[in-house]
Amino acid sequence: MSSAVSVLTLILKQPVPLLPLLSTLNLTSCNSLYFNLPKCQINRLQQIQNCLAHTVVKTPKSSHITPILRSLHWLKINERIEYKLLSLTYKVLTTSQPDYRHNLISVQSTGRTRSSSVVTLAQPSVSSSLQTTNRSFTYASPYIWNQLPSSFRQPHSVHCPPGSPHPAYITSSQSPPSLSSPITAYTFHSRLKTHLFHKSFPP
């Protein structure tokens, strides 16, 4: 964490035209590793993002930061972390790739009724008192994913034999990709950013 903050701090010394690109790369590239960090460390990252935002729009550091971040359409640090984790989870659920991540999560079996037809990930029990365990993808992914509105977690309907009362839904942890994709990945991520943007900046 300290090394990440050091790298981000160095960005502030770069020419202003490079700041948006560098800040995006460095605040996004490894932010899934920041899940469940102590609040004091998240605050340090948020302070760096705030400083970058002030530099980009050339406003005094005393200016209120919320309108500036909103105008730049930048998610705050906590929401950036969630966005990255949810993007990785979405890819796993829709493509079963990469294998090493696909093996880390499983879909909770909740029956085959319409009322239970949202993709919910099984939350593993914590087998270690180490805080880093709670920050791993195995634990972070289900925790964040299951908090999404149901509209983001619609399952993939499969072919039913004639006479079936309703479509069957893939809910088994042994199933292939569990999410339907009537919308494109671009649309999903666009909707996800909008959802998290409202979380960063409530109306």
Model confidence over 162-190: pLDDT tens digits?
433 333 333 333 444 456 555 688 989 99
**DSSP SS3 for 168:** strand
pTM above 0.95, yes or no: no
Tens-place pLDDT, residues 23-32: 555 565 666 6
Q: Measuring CA to CA, how many Å separate 83 from each of 4, 40, 123, 130, 183?
A: 19, 20, 19, 24, 18
DSSP state, 180? -
Q: What is the rounded CA–CA span in Å between residue 158 and residue 154? A: 13
109-146 pLDDT, tens digit each? 765 544 457 889 998 876 655 555 677 888 899 999 99
Strand residues in 112-166 grouped as ranges (E)? 157-158
Question: How far apart, in whole angstroms, are the C-alpha atoms of residue 174 and residue 180?
Answer: 16
What's the whole-number average pLDDT of the chain? 75
List, in sequence order, the alpha helices (H) in 38-184: 39-57, 65-72, 77-95, 99-102, 137-145
